[in-house]
Amino acid sequence: MTFVYLIIAIILEVIGTAALQASEQFTKPKPLILTALGYAASFYFLSLVLRTMPVGIAYAIWSGLGIVLITIVGLVWFGQKLDMPAVIGLALIIAGVGTINLFSSTVSH
């Protein structure tokens, strides 16, 4: 269940961050409420992950995949653009998360 909780935490964090963008600097109350709920629920599920996974590894996966997913949301939903250095950086993040999951003995599979 650890990875299920981690995926849920990542998705909720991405929802919270997308809602933060949509709140337009806290001027729209509905996205603001979704931001607070998304982040709170994300941290709850992340806390469940920390029962069995080291905090550094869990946070690396959570933040790394969250960065990639929120970037995709920014591209699709908010029409934000990326330059080549940003694409390369995101590829390195994905490679780092993949390396942790495939080769690290600190991640229980």
Residue 101: per-residue pLDDT:
82
List the pLDDT tens digit at each of the 109 positions of the chain: 999 999 999 999 999 999 999 999 999 999 999 999 999 999 999 999 999 999 989 999 999 999 999 999 999 999 999 999 999 999 999 999 889 888 888 776 5
What is the pTM (predicted TM-score) of this model? 0.86
Q: Rounded to an integer, what is the distance from CA 36 to the centroid of its chain?
A: 15
Residue 108: per-residue pLDDT:
63
Residue 98: per-residue pLDDT:
87
Residue 56 Cα distances to 9, 31, 74, angstroms: 15, 30, 26
